């Protein structure tokens, strides 16, 4: 059995945690920084969350369950990707966590994804989340101006 890895990416956003939180929990904002993805959920712990869109001409429908909601601080959900090549089984879900830490006029955002199975997958996931957080920073900072 292979040890599972953790992908971790961080960014500093020049905005309050309230503004960052709003961006990561508002479907219109999510669509702007998460590659055009449509997210559907009620943002309550234990509720389903779904992600739909198209990537490189291929439609996807990903899903998970909201695990933790601590407004302005932590958003955590499980995640399974229809494009990931893994069967839709509990052991193939990832836990994705946004941690927000406000310091003055900035918010430090750390995103982690667990259950990464290889160094290659970790590199891919890390690069992907880094580009998502970079886009999140742009969306939040532009809306703050």
Task: Give the mean pLDDT of 32-40.
Answer: 94
Task: Give the mean pLDDT of 40-68.
Answer: 95
Alpha carbons 46 and 110: distance in angstroms, whole number: 22
Percentage above 90 pLDDT, the chain? 86
The better pLDDT of the pair 17, 144 is held by 17
Domain boundaries, the chain: 5-105+114-140
Place of tokens 């229809």: 82
In terms of CATH architecture, what is 5-105+114-140?
Answer: 2-Layer Sandwich (3.30)
Integer angstrom CA distances of residue 37 from 13, 53, 102, 132, 145: 21, 5, 27, 11, 24
Kindly state the DSSP code that residue 14 receives in the 8-state scheme. S
Task: Give the mean pLDDT of 89-104.
Answer: 96
In this prediction, residue 1 has a pLDDT band, given cuts at 50, 70 and 90, of: very low
What's the mean per-residue pLDDT of the chain? 94
Residue 3 has pLDDT above 70, yes or no: no
């Amino acid at each position: 059995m292979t040890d599972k890895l953790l992908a971790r990416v961080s960014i500093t956003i020049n905005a309050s945690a309230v503004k960052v939180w709003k961006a990561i929990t508002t479907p219109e904002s999510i669509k702007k920084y998460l590659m055009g993805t449509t997210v559907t959920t009620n943002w309550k712990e234990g509720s389903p969350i779904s992600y739909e869109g198209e990537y490189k001409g291929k439609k996807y429908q990903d899903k998970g369950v909201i695990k933790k909601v601590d407004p302005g601080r932590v958003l955590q959900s499980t995640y399974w990707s229809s494009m990931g090549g893994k069967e839709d089984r509990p052991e193939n879900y990832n836990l994705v966590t946004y941690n927000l830490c406000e310091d003055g006029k900035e918010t430090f955002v750390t995103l982690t994804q667990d259950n990464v199975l290889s160094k290659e997958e970790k590199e891919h996931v890390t690069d992907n989340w880094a580009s998502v957080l970079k886009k999140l920073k742009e969306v939040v900072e532009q809306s703050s101006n």
